[in-house]
Amino acid sequence: MQNLTNQAASKYLGQKVEGTQTYCPDFLVAVPRYENRKQYNIDNDSLPFEGVDVWHAYEFSSMTKNGLPFTRLLKLRYPSNSEFIVESKSLKLYLNSFNMSRYGATIAESLQICAEMIKNDLSSVLKTDVELKFLENNVKRELIFSNFNNILDYVDENTIKIEVFKESPELLKTQITSARREYYLCFDSLRSNCRVTHQPDFGDVFICYKSKIHIEEEALVKYLCSFRSEYHFHEECCEMIYKRLYDLLDKNNDELMVSILYTRRGGIDICPIRWSKNYKSTDIFDDLINVTKYARNSIKQ
């Protein structure tokens, strides 16, 4: 099964691909989610989370009918219960096919036309509703996850030993506490690798959980570091981390949220976020999933 996903993704990944001077929706490649989910026991028909995949394309550019070029940040999202994800290089090639195309008498009119075309194309290929918005170049930067604590503040750097670099859930350890507590943790050094090209991907992980079960911070650091030699897509890493933590908590009562803000590669970043179905407040990530806002956390993003 994994080979089928790799074959779909590798249509362009790791390949020399000629661009085009004209709009070309045929570049888009859909990759099924279910194959990777089976590896860590996520039932595609009964997902243990809600969530979305948020994408930022920083270099979208096209032209008006008069040949006036413009560049905007395109923010889009689609739900985690969609059957497919879009492969990132195929999306870049597709968006670049707008570079020399001409639409509309004004920039505003051209942006509207492009937005409708992209929404229709992606929704058709992914078989789900895709929401998107072009953000103006002076858009305000919203600060998110500002109340999260650096997990390394809970760890003694002089004594911790990191020795495992393949995803290993057995590294995780828990304790039962007397009262339900809220934990807001971030780790700014996640590294994983593209499944097809084996190029490294870097991201900041944000974890919030509310439980009587305490996941030991040093063990959690070791677990997150174990992704360093893993080969997965961004969305898969987020879901894997979520599922491992979900399995440790009280599924009926505890709340859990995991998000990874990846740094951009090739002018595009991917920011998957997953939260438990009983998660009571989405305030801490509303700006991230809102396509009209530009929400970041650190200088890397």
| Cα 290 from chain centre | 14
User: What is the Cα Rg of the chain in Å?
Assistant: 20
CA atoms in the 13 A half-sphere facing the CB of 117:
20
Residue-by-residue DSSP string for 33-94: SHHHHGGGT--TTS-S-EEEEEEEEEEEEEE-TT--EEEEEEEEEEETTSSEEE-HHHHHHH
- Catalytic residue, chosen from 53, 121, 186, 201, is 201
How many residues are present in the chain? Answer: 301
Is 286 marked active-site? no
201 carries an active-site annotation: yes
DSSP label of 231: B
Rounded-to-integer distance, Cα 20 and Cα 22, Å: 5
Kindly report the backbone phi and psi dihedral angles of residue 246, in degrees, each rounded to the nearest multiple of 5, phi listed first: -55, -40
Q: Of 114, 121, 186, 194, which one is the catalytic site residue?
A: 194
Cross-strand bridge partners of residue 231: 193
Residues with a catalytic annotation lie at 194, 201
